[in-house]
Structure formats: C-alpha cells, structure tokens
Amino acid sequence: MSLLSADPAAFPAEPPADTHDPAVTAAHDWAAFSALDEMTDHWARPGWSDGSRAYYWMLTFPNDQPLAALARHCQQELAPLGLDPVPTDGLHITLARVGSPDAVTPNQLDSLARDAEALAPSAISVRAMPLAGSRGAVRLSLGPWEPLLRLHHTLAEAGSRAGLALEKPTSAFRPHLSLAYNNRRRPAAPVVNAVSGLRALPAAQLSVSAVQLVELRREGRTYRWDVKKSVLLR
C-alpha cells in the first residue's frame, strides 16, 4: 500500500504512480514544475524569519564532491536568473520538522535519537537528477522515492514513541534536493526554460548511511545547521 496521498500543500500535490522507478518520479516532478504559471518567494514564510531556528531530520552531504560539482555547474548556468544558490556545503534533503528549540527539551531529543536508532532501516542509495523545481525553488529530483519514504515513516514512528509527532505525515512527503531558492514572485516560464536545458546532465549517486537530527537556522537567504544527533542506518 502506498505511503503517499494527495495533499494540496505538497509539491507535487498528487503523488507519482510509482515510487520505485526513478524515471516515473522524475517525470512526475517535471510535469508539475513545467505546468507552473508563477513562482513564489521561498523566503516569504510566516514564522520562519531571519534567525529562526527549529529541529529537523535531514540528510546532509558535506563531503560529496560529485554532488557539489553538479550543484555548482547548475547554479552557474542559472546565475542570470538571480536565484539564491544553496552553498555546496549546505546541500541537504529535508526529511521532517521535529519542533522548535523552545518546545523540545534535550531529553526529548535524546529519546528521539534512541528510538530512531532502534528502528533504523538499512543504508540506502538514491540518484539525484534530473533538474526540476517547485513553486519556490529549483531542485534535483530524487529516485527511487521508496527508500526515502520508508526512512521518513521510520522517523515518524520514532517521533510518536518519543512524544514528538512530526509536523507533516509521510503521506505529504515529496523527496527532493534544492539547489537554489526563488526570492521573488515571477513568471515561471523563464526559470522552467533555463532548467530544461540542464536536465540531460549526468546524475549524482548519493549514498546515505546516516540521518542527521539538526538544529536548523535561517541566516539571511540561506540555511545553516548544527548536527545534534547522527543516527546510523543499518
């Protein structure tokens, strides 16, 4: 049974027909992005102003040179659009928001990490490419989705055990890796056209052997974080 369901707040709102086939999820991402009329300002997010902090589960890739090289190439090609590029040491896959520092105690974080470690699935490998986007970002499609969905489901179960329910259920999770954030309202067509010319680049293969529980913070028009816990996958 699929872990996904339609959600108007997600992008794409409808889930793909097959979460095991990278070609299907990539085509689904592109169909949704290329159908946009307008892009929105990623940073115009209520409750998430400059300096805001929150705990998140993320996958981080600080030493992945092939991914960094792919990101730099795409960002250089897209530079005339004036997007806000993600620093190559800040590339990440956001999995789930846990809560704010004033609402989550250190003991709860410890409990959450222990429960996640006890439930941790196997290490996974996913492909990052081709390029697509959303209402507020240019981002790499990921595939297959299925192991990422299972990881998210595991983290949701750990959160339930620790009394820290995730902000969004697995049914609304749409795996992706952002390379640049859109910083104003604009017609989507010029961005879609620029992205379309980069979709044939070779993919980066991502090996995921751990998941990070981080304190994420917004610094101007970028994200930075401190890793609080790193949970090894089996």
Cα atoms in the 13 Å half-sphere on the side-chain side of 58 = 23
pLDDT score of 2 more than 90? no
**4 with 173: CB under 8 angstroms?**
yes
User: Are 151 and 211 contacting, i.e. CB atoms less than 8 angstroms apart?
Assistant: yes
pLDDT tens per residue, range 13-25:
999 999 999 999 9
Q: Which of 124, 116, 150, 153 is nearest to 231 (CA)?
A: 116
Q: What is the pTM of this model?
A: 0.96
- Region of 220 (left: φ > 0; alpha: ψ -120 to 50; beta: rest) is left
Give the pLDDT of residue 61. Answer: 96
> For residue 18, what pLDDT is reported?
96
Cα separation, 154 vs 151, whole angstroms:
5
128-165 per-position pLDDT tens digit: 999 999 999 999 999 999 999 999 999 999 999 999 99
| CATH 3.30.413.10 is held by the domain 22-39+53-232 | no
Evaluate whether 138 touches 92 at the Cβ level (below 8 Å).
Answer: no
**Per-residue pLDDT band at 3 (split at 50, 70, 90):** confident
Over residues 181-193, the mean pLDDT reads 98
Summarised one tens digit per residue, pLDDT across range 13-57 is: 999 999 999 999 999 999 999 999 999 999 998 888 999 999 999
Q: List the domain boundaries for the chain.
A: 22-39+53-232
User: Residue 153's beta-bridge partner residues?
Assistant: none
Pair of tokens at residue 185: 């309202």
Per-residue tokens: 145: 């989705």
Place of tokens 């409750």: 47
Question: 57-70 pLDDT, tens per residue?
Answer: 999 999 999 999 99
Could you give the strand order of the β-sheet that contains 210-219, starting from the edge strand earlier in sequence?
92-99, 53-60, 210-219, 222-232
